[in-house]
């Protein structure tokens, strides 16, 4: 039972380069999310999606774009990476919108991104 799978696990980018982080879930969840985790800052929501073909901004969306072309996949793009985007990125999914009772987030194992 794979749950939420993120690729790649690690990546080093130079400033200005672009990349796409991939997230796939096999739980048929409608809702998917991208978070970043920084020391002492907890998890901050970048973008999220409430269903196939939809996306919305979270708390820290600047510098990122997302797409949800298929229900099971949620892609996070960095068009021009900056050192401030060095972080650990987590994808998550949920059956109903997060924050509702009995709808916990299911997280992937993260992507550690370093921008030099």
Residues that bind another protein (CB under 8 A): 4, 40-45, 48, 58-59, 90, 92, 97-101, 104-105, 107-110
Q: Please, what is the minimum distance in Å from the beta carbon of residue 100 to another protein?
A: 6
Q: Output the six-digit token pair for 62.
A: 């600047």
Q: Is the peptide bond before 8 cis (omega within 30 degrees of 0)?
A: yes
- The residue (of 15 and 96) whose beta carbon lies closer to another protein is 96
- The residue (of 5 and 72) whose beta carbon lies closer to another protein is 5
- The residue (of 75 and 105) whose beta carbon lies closer to another protein is 105
Q: Please, what is the minimum distance in Å from the beta carbon of residue 56 to another protein?
A: 10
Q: Please, what is the minimum distance in Å from the beta carbon of residue 81 to another protein?
A: 22
* Cα dihedral: 53, 92, 89, 8 (round 10): -80
Residue of 84, 86, 41, 47 whose CA lies nearest to 64: 47
- The residue (of 33 and 81) whose beta carbon lies closer to another protein is 33
Would the CA dihedral through 5, 87, 11, 71 be positive or negative? Answer: positive
């Amino acid at each position: 039972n794979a749950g939420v799978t993120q690729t790649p696990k690690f990546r080093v980018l130079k400033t200005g380069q672009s990349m796409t982080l991939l997230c796939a879930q096999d739980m048929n969840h409608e809702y998917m999310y991208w978070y970043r985790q920084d020391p002492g800052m907890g998890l901050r929501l970048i973008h999220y999606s409430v269903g196939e073909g939809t996306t919305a901004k979270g708390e820290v969306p600047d510098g990122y774009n997302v797409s949800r072309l298929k229900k099971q996949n949620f892609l996070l793009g960095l068009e021009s990476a900056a050192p401030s985007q060095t972080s650990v990125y987590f994808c998550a999914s949920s059956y109903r919108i997060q924050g509702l009772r009995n709808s916990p987030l299911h997280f992937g194992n993260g992507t550690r991104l370093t921008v030099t």
